[in-house]
Amino acid sequence: MPTTLTPRQTAILTQAQQKGRVLVEDLSKVFGTTPQTIRKDLQVLADAHQVMRFHGGASLIAGVEYVHFEARQAIAAAQKERIGAAVANRIPNNVALMINVGTTTAAVARALRRHIGLKIVTDNVNIANELRASSGVEIIVPGGVVRRSDGAILGGAAVDFIRQFRADVAVIGASAIARDGTLLDFDLREAHVARAIIDNARHVILAADGSKFERPAPVQIGHLRQVQTFVTDECPHAEIVELCDKLGVELVEAG
């Protein structure tokens, strides 16, 4: 039978879905309880195959669905809108564009509404809906399985469809960015789609807010070396700044 979670355990799982990982010390302060109690809560979530324990905390297991798209949009919302505007300013009119699923990439889509002559392939029904009324934009979506939580279109059919196109620009997001430049996600199916988008674009723009530097994720999408422009609100890690410089990646801080 499915495990019945307490309200606190449900709230802890929601934090894990939003951040990718949670720490015992932080949760103890948030919920006003002992670290031992939090460890027991995390063990319940681990036994229910929702998180994976590590020393001092837990991380979301690959394949566990994110919190719903609407709730994720509220996280770092102002930063995402600034990133979206900065990315849109770098995309000319009359180009072929790919945009993958994400709340930051959705902010880019909103900022593109006044562009003209865009042909956009996207693997997300929310992004398609954001742009469908824009007179200067033609929207193309692949077939596949629609993930309930955020409208991502997943599966082999989506990957095969995307590989039929060659985009001038691709805008991608990432659930996490490791300090060695590896781009990460939680869902292997989504990673397959993101890789197809990266492989079939002449210029790749990574759009990710600063919180993505502080979270882990288990599935590799790609690496910063495959990106030409990286737009974030701020980049707090010297290693990433130096890596962008070494790889020739334009780093734009929109914060």
Q: How far is CA 210 from the centre of its chain?
A: 12
Q: Decide whether 7-60 matches 69-253 in CATH topology.
A: no
Alpha-carbon distance values, 21 to 14, 88, 109 (Å): 10, 30, 28
Query: Does the pLDDT value for residue 73 go beyond 90?
Result: no
pLDDT band with cut points at 50, 70 and 90 for residue 2: low
Least confident of 7-16, 83-92, 196-205: 7-16
State yes or no: pLDDT of 97 exceeds 70: yes
Q: Which of 44-48, 166-170, 185-189, 237-241 has the lowest mean pLDDT?
A: 185-189
Task: Please name the residue ranges forming H helices in 32-187.
Answer: 35-47, 69-73, 77-89, 103-111, 125-131, 156-162
Q: Is the pLDDT assigned to residue 82 strictly greater than 70?
A: yes
Contact by Cβ (8 Å): 227, 205: yes
Mean pLDDT score, 225-241: 95
What pLDDT, on the 0 to 100 scale, is given for residue 147?
87
Please measure the distance between the N-terminal and C-terminal CA atoms of the chain and give it in whole angstroms.
Answer: 47
pLDDT in tens, 21-45: 789 999 999 999 999 999 999 999 9
Residue 212: per-residue pLDDT: 87
Mean pLDDT of 98-109: 95
How is domain 7-60 classified at the architecture level of CATH? Orthogonal Bundle (1.10)
Distance CA(77)–CA(199), nearest Å, equals: 29
Q: Does domain 69-253 have CATH number 3.40.630.10?
A: no
Does residue 3 carry a pLDDT above 90?
no
pTM, entire model: 0.79
How do the domains of the chain map onto residue ranges?
A: 7-60, 69-253
